[in-house]
Amino acid sequence: MAQKKPDCERYRVPVGGSFRLSTIDTDDDQDLDRDEARKRLSLNHEQMQEYQQRLYAEGRQSLLLVLQAMDTGGKDSTIRKVAGVLNPQGCHVTGFKAPTDEELAHDFLWRVHDHVPRRGQIGIFNRSHYEDVLVVRVHKLVTPDLIERHYGHINDFERLLVDHGVRVVKIMLHISKEYQLKRLRRRLERPDKHWKFNPGDLEERKRWDEYMESFEIALNRCSTDHAPWYVVPAEKRWFRDMLVSEILVKALTDMDPRYPKPEFDLTRYTPQSIS
Ligand code: ATP
Ligand code: MG
């Protein structure tokens, strides 16, 4: 039987629309077979490796993956499972925690810009500038008027990056509130997961609906043609990993990085002629 192809476009947030998170089933797997999905992930891994090498050799463009999720949404394990195969020399992961005093003394994009991947590199953001319209909105850490302006600042910032050769792909790993509870309980059940349990996550959990509302606004206002948002069902981890790899391969294919032409005279140097 022919293998069913996963469809990532169905999770792309339309530009300027009124996308609702409730339209995405967090447990979805598109009726794909788990083993087939694993095979597809490993094929995608091979492609990512090939493309990464070309990207590096070409040195003209870079790829930035922005990952956002609620606590226990699986950002860390997605990075490990999907990007773990990349050459560490050409890939950089940056986590964004609560800002330091120094960071708070600047505009919210100041700490972010420096971590955007340089040409030839792949960058991954574990949380990002979107925290400034998520946690910051939920906790009212700045005035509503400023938050309102942040969406425009983000779109302009991402436009700037795209204009300078950065492909921006943004993925929300989407889980349900019930699934989060399961994951939090698991962190208490397993001694090797205790270190991951953060009582503060229970406080944020109480504000689940406000987070979902903030996510929806951000997705609708900041999914653009040049920097689209994808909302990936993240409860079946094998499906999540395959789909994220699929989205990355699609972006890389579209970027089409090429090995540069040799700058030396190929007729002068042959494998036999050098010693
Ligand atoms: P882990 O999986 O290890 O829990 P994490 O990304 O949740 O990883 P934490 O240190 O638990 O790391 O959480 C980082 C916290 O920093 C999050 O609660 C996040 O909302 C918060 N944060 C990130 N950026 C900002 C920001 N700009 N303003 C305020 N809080 C922020
Ligand atoms: Mg945390």
What is the tens place of the pLDDT at every residue in 127-163?
Answer: 999 999 999 999 999 999 999 999 999 999 999 999 9
- Over pLDDT 70: what percentage of the chain? 99
Report the topology of domain 9-255: Rossmann fold (3.40.50)
Q: Which of 151, 148, 136, 161 is nearest to 65 (CA)?
A: 161
Contact 230, 9 (CB under 8 A): no
Ramachandran area for residue 20 (φ above 0: left; ψ -120 to 50: alpha; else beta): beta
pLDDT for 23-59, tens place per residue? 999 999 999 999 999 999 999 999 999 999 999 999 9
- Tell me which of 127, 129, 173, 207 to substitute to probe ligand 1's pocket, judged by most ligand atoms within 8 Å of the beta carbon: 127
What was the pLDDT predicted at 78? 98
Higher pLDDT, 265 or 159: 159
Q: DSSP secondary structure string, 60-93?
A: S-EEEEEEEESTTS-HHHHHHHHHTTS-GGGEEE
Domain boundaries, the chain: 9-255
Query: Rounded to an integer, what is the distance from CA 100 to the centroid of its chain?
Result: 23
What was the pLDDT predicted at 2? 54
How much is the average pLDDT of 59-88? 98
What was the pLDDT predicted at 62? 98
As to burial, measured by CB atoms within 10 angstroms (0-12 exposed, 13-18 middle, 19+ buried), residue 15 is middle
- Residues with Cβ within 8 Å of residue 192, at least 6 apart in sequence: none
How much is the average pLDDT of 1-24? 88
Which amino acid would we find at residue 40?
A: R
Contact 41, 242 (CB under 8 A): yes
Ligand 1 within 6 A of 211 CB? no
What number of other Cβ atoms are within 10 A of residue 32's Cβ? Answer: 20
How much is the average pLDDT of 198-205? 95
40 Cα–ligand 1 center, Å: 32
Closest ligand relative to 98 C-alpha: 1
Look at residue 216 and tell me whether its pLDDT is greater than 80. yes
Helix, strand, coil percentages, rounded to 5, for the chain: 50, 10, 35
What was the pLDDT predicted at 17? 81
Ligand 1 within 6 A of 137 CB? no
What was the pLDDT predicted at 266? 87
Phi, psi of 204 (to 5 degrees): -65, -35
As to burial, measured by CB atoms within 10 angstroms (0-12 exposed, 13-18 middle, 19+ buried), residue 194 is exposed
What was the pLDDT predicted at 4? 74
- Over pLDDT 90: what percentage of the chain? 92
Ion ligand 2 residue ranges (Cβ < 5 Å):
71
What number of other Cβ atoms are within 10 A of residue 137's Cβ? Answer: 22
Look at residue 1 and tell me whether its pLDDT is greater than 70. no
Output the residue whose Cα is nearest ligand 1's atom 28: 98
pTM (2 d.p.): 0.96
What was the pLDDT predicted at 16? 87
Look at residue 89 and tell me whether its pLDDT is greater than 80. yes
Question: Mean pLDDT across the chain, nearest whole number?
Answer: 96
Strand partners, 64: 123, 168
Ligand 1 within 6 A of 71 CB? yes
Higher pLDDT, 83 or 273: 83
Closest ligand relative to 111 C-alpha: 1
